Amino acid sequence: MSATDTVPMAPEGQIASAITDEEVIRLINVNKWYGEFHVLKDVNLSVRRGERIVICGPSGSGKSTLIRCINRLEQHQEGEIIVNGTTLDSNVKNIEAIRSDVGMVFQSFNLFPHLTVLENCTLAPMWVRKRPLDEAADVAMKYLERVRIPEQAHKYPGQLSGGQQQRVAIARSLCMNPNIMLFDEPTSALDPEMISEVLDVMVELAASGMTMLVVTHEMAFARKVADRVIFMDQGEIVEENAPDEFFANPRVDRSRLFLSQILAH
């Protein structure tokens, strides 16, 4: 757990990183098929505690599939995935334990519409971690304050704007006190003026030293917080690079083409 001196000097405007040596996620030659369709091809990846990784790539390249394999919302067929030291296999107890330590934020928020914001946040701590109600509610209020919506605690998700809902979703994940957070395009269902309020929360989270894997097209965010950018195409990791290198001087022609397309407008 020793903090090491492998931490690179933070470039201008970037948030200092707190990477340690401890490896929390490791993917070894992971392959996955949807029927006959080969979505993930020999994916290898290692994530250390405190590392912030941004995954980008064209639509259909397998980004969502990759991060959903990490908490086994999708099942891989070949290779090995190790999260927090546990190998993912069909052992349900292990999967549930890993999921409770790995938060996930979805593109479509997926808040539970029949529960209030506060109940959304206390549900898993109470039923998975067996916390008493008042303790869970205290923790939930703390995180709702952190995402700056404590006043909405007693409303229902349907009464909130998209940006507020996504912040609740982030708070809900944080209430489980996870050591890894997965984000699958958290801002792409939002109107432009709401994107920044969500990104601000994510930047703060990054600054607090959380291990994060973020699938996003927000390149400014990637520049600001990422320790590493991963570019995927057709189920493969095409390029892994430091963000400033990746944006200024991508190594692979495919990444160059992708960047020119998304930065063109």
Partner 1 sequence: MATDNTQPGQDAAIVFEPKQSRSAPVASVGVIGWLRENLFYSWFSTIVTVVVAWGMFEGAAYLYDWGVTKAVFEAESRRQCLNTSPDGACWAGIIDWMNGFMYGRYPDEEQWRINLGGVLLIAWVLPFWLPNLKGKIGIGMSAVMVYPFLAAYLFLGGERGVFLNLMVFLAITLLVLNWVHVVLFYLTGRTLTENLVRMTGFEHRPETTHKYPMLALVAVVWGCVYAWLGDWQLELVRTNLWGGLFLTIVIAGVAIVSALPGGVALALARRSTMPVIRVFAITFIELFRSVPLITVLFMAVTMMPLFLPEDFQLNKLVQVMIGVCLFAAAYMAEVVRGGLQAIPNGQYEAAKAMGLSYWKMMNLVILPQALKLMIPNIVGNFMGLLKDTTLVSIIGLYDMLNMLKAVGQNPIWIGLHKEPLVFGAAIYFVLCFAMSKYSQRLERTIGQGNTGR
Ligand X SMILES: Nc1ncnc2c1ncn2[C@@H]1O[C@H](COP(=O)(O)OP(=O)(O)OP(=O)(O)O)[C@@H](O)[C@H]1O
Please report, as ranges, the residues that interact with partner 1 according to CB under 8 A. 71, 73, 92, 96-104, 106, 108, 110-116, 123-124, 127-128, 132, 156-159, 169, 172-173, 176
In angstroms, the CA 111 to CA 91 distance is: 27
- Binding region for Mg ion (CB under 5 A) out of 60-68, 83-91, 170-178, 221-229: 60-68
- Residue corresponding to tokens 């982030």: 170
* 52 vs 68, beta carbon nearer Mg ion: 68
**Under the criterion CB under 5 A, does residue 187 sit at the interface with Mg ion?**
no
User: Measured from the CB of residue 107, what is the shortest distance to ligand X in angstroms?
Assistant: 8
Q: Which residues contact 86 (CB under 8 A, 6 or more apart)?
A: 94, 97, 98
As given in the structure block, the two tokens for residue 200 are: 């601000």
- Binding region for Mg ion (CB under 5 A) out of 7-15, 56-64, 108-116, 127-135: 56-64
Residues in contact with ligand X by CB under 6 A are: 34, 37, 39, 57, 59-65
Inter-CA distances, 119 with 136, 163, 169, 198, Å: 9, 19, 12, 21
94 binds, among Mg ion, partner 1, ligand X, none (CB under 5 to 8 A by kind): none
* 8 vs 60, beta carbon nearer ligand X: 60
* 62 vs 157, beta carbon nearer Mg ion: 62
Question: Could you tell me how far CA 91 lies from the centroid of its own chain?
Answer: 23
Q: Which residues contact 93 (CB under 8 A, 6 or more apart)?
A: none
User: Measured from the CB of residue 106, what is the shortest distance to partner 1 in angstroms?
Assistant: 6
User: Measured from the CB of residue 63, what is the shortest distance to Mg ion in angstroms?
Assistant: 5
What is the phi-psi region of residue 13: left when phi exceeds 0, alpha when psi lies from -120 to 50, beta otherwise? Answer: left
As given in the structure block, the two tokens for residue 145 are: 């304050």
DSSP 145-159: HHTT-GGGTTS-GGG
59 binds, among partner 1, Mg ion, ligand X, none (CB under 5 to 8 A by kind): ligand X
In angstroms, the CA 221 to CA 185 distance is: 12
**Under the criterion CB under 5 A, does residue 64 sit at the interface with Mg ion?**
yes
Chain residues in the site for Mg ion (CB under 5 A) = 64
